[in-house]
Amino acid sequence: MIKMKRQRYVWVTMLPAVWLLICTVTAGLIKLFDANPAVGFLALAKKYSAAADAGQILAPAKTMDQMQHVIFNAYTNSGLTILFLFVVFSILFYAIKVGRAAWTTEARTDKEAPYQAMPPASQV
């Protein structure tokens, strides 16, 4: 909308995008840092690591090898969540950068390719 110089309508896309950003970041942070092992990946890894160090086996694991898999999976999920949040913030940063540049330019900055008809399916 900003690139098309329709700033008046930015709220139409901005409002749902901000809500989605708030929900996504909140959920990611909760999954990472919640102290409840049923919710937080790091709390789960810490709980299972402490039990493994003490020689205990917690359900659903039945062997020490499965305990190590639970710990590894919790840390893997944490890493993927961090990566996902990094991608979300990268997109946000790029969108703000492009939006600010388009806002300060007088002319439209959107670019569309001219229409090209698709060839008939028999020629593809």
- Cβ burial of 99 (10 Å; 0-12, 13-18, 19+) is middle
Where exactly are the structural domains of the chain?
A: 7-110
Q: What is the pLDDT of residues 91-116, one digit of tens each?
A: 999 999 999 998 888 888 888 888 88
Kindly report the average pLDDT of the chain as a whole number. 93
Give me the mean pLDDT over the 26-46 stretch: 98
Q: Which of 2-6, 16-20, 43-47, 117-121 has the lowest mean pLDDT?
A: 2-6
What are the structure tokens assigned to 109, written together? 């900055």
What are the structure tokens assigned to 115, written together? 């229409």
